Structure 1
């Protein structure tokens, strides 16, 4: 498993908390808070775009 540096959790309304992380190779990761051993990975730009869309309310139905 890569050595991932996780950021503080971002929590929306209710129990929708997730964390972003990066490794030493510049890969980006996202996981549900508390389940960091089960993550998805993509480019940093792709995950940043997804998170910005979620934060702007474009995907609120996914966080409920």
Structure 2
């Protein structure tokens, strides 16, 4: 398992809390808060685009 540095949880309305993490190779990770051993990984730019779309209301149903 990679060495992931997790940021503080981001919590929207209700129970939709997730965390963003990065590793030393420049990969980005996203996981449901409390379940960081089950994560999605992609480039930092791809996950940044996903989060931007979620915050813009384009994909809030995914959380």
The TM-score with structure 2 as length reference comes to: 0.95
Greater relative contact order, per chain length (Cα 8 Å cut-off, separation 6+) = 1
Deviation at 1:23, TM superposition (A): 0.3
Q: Across the two proteins, how many residue pairs are aligned to each other?
A: 63
Where does structure 1 differ by over 6 angstroms across 4 or more consecutive aligned residues? none
Q: In structure 2, what is the Cα distance between the partners aligned to 1:60 and 1:20?
A: 16
Structure 2 residue runs of 5 or longer lacking an equivalent are none
The TM-score with structure 1 as length reference comes to: 0.93
Q: In structure 1, what is the Cα distance between the partners aligned to 2:25 and 2:60?
A: 31
Deviation at 1:11, TM superposition (A): 0.8
